[in-house]
Amino acid sequence: MNDRRVVVVIDRDEEVRSLLRTTLGEAGFVVHCAATGEAGLALVRAKQPDTVTLDLVLPDMDGYEVLRRIREFSHTYILIITARSGLGATLKGFDAGADDYMVKPIRPRELRARVDGMLRRPRQLTVPPIVTPRQAPLVSPRLRASARAEIAPGPAPAHGLPVARGLGVALDVPAAQGLPAAQAFEHNGLAINSATRAATLGGRALQLTRTEFDLLYILLQRGSGVVSKAELVGLLGLAKREAGTMGGSDAGVRDAGRIIETHVGNLRRKLGDDARQPRWLKTVRGAGYTLA
């Protein structure tokens, strides 16, 4: 049985395809290449790859359109590899569903590191679309609104969260587009379902508070990326809540950071996790939190 990982390379440039075929082949992948968007979509459907690398400029269609169409039927990891280096292009790629973004020229060691990093993240699972307009949002309006407010002062940008290893569509869908699609994640036996707001560990239900669930959901969406304490404060809306109870003082905002530590501690207790040898929640000293 062949258990090697599969990658589909979609790039108009023959030299780039050759480089990716060699680099990823040496890393142990079975590599399939396509020079057009339509051929790439057909390969993704047929091969069900673990990873897709995607150029944004293709001869038959826009790369963003290819990305969106892949996301209609696949949760494969997608790495955009392009000559477009602008922030707008990067954000548009993440908005469309990319997992990572790499600017040409390609450096083989960086490429392998990025692909390895994606594959270490929790795999997003398929969840039946059980949401109706009368059901509560999968992520609270407080969480979604706070995520936008954290980006920059003033009105939130229409493109959503500018985070390189983004928080996923559940936190990045404008209200006018309706409720976000359901998502589920699994990591070391810990499973979370945003449709039912349920979390289980080894099949056992976890009794989490609303904030604990939202915090865990953010970390699982971010995968191997580090989420800072300040970012969590903003995403969870704690800065506004604590500042409000303290008359808008800076002390309230600082207290919100301590509350994050308390929530992480409570999550570890409910998971039976050891901060010194974590299996799920890891503290990165001076930086924040990530998955172990």
Are the beta carbons of 95 and 65 closer than 8 angstroms? Answer: no
Query: What pLDDT, in 10s, does the model give residues 281-290?
Result: 989 888 889 8
Instruction: Specify the range with the lowest mean pLDDT, choosing from 75-79, 108-112, 116-120, 203-207.
Output: 116-120
Identify the band that residue 53 occupies on the pLDDT scale cut at 50, 70 and 90: very high
**Has residue 77 got a pLDDT over 60?**
yes
Written as six digits, the tokens of 151 are 């980006």
Angle 118-124-126 (CA atoms, 0-180°, nearest 5)?
150
Instruction: Specify the range with the lowest mean pLDDT, choosing from 33-37, 59-63, 233-237, 266-270.
Output: 233-237
Query: What pLDDT, in 10s, does the model give residues 204-252?
Result: 888 887 788 888 888 888 877 888 888 888 887 765 444 443 344 444 4
Are the beta carbons of 161 and 171 closer than 8 angstroms? Answer: yes
Q: Give the residue among 103, 6, 82 at the shortest CA–CA distance from 45.
A: 6
Q: Mean pLDDT over residues 264-288, rounded?
A: 88
Distance CA 72, CA 289 (A): 31
Using only C-alpha atoms, the chain has a radius of gyration, in whole angstroms, of: 20
Contacts (Cβ under 8 Å, ≥6 apart) of 1: none
Query: What pLDDT, in 10s, does the model give residues 141-182?
Result: 333 333 333 333 333 333 333 222 333 323 332 222 333 445
Residue type at 77? Answer: Y
Domains, the chain, ranges and CATH?
6-120 (3.40.50.2300), 124-291 (1.10.10.10)
Q: What is the pTM of this model?
A: 0.47
Distance CA 244, CA 168 (A): 29
Maximal CA-CA distance, the chain: 65
Distance CA 59, CA 10 (A): 11
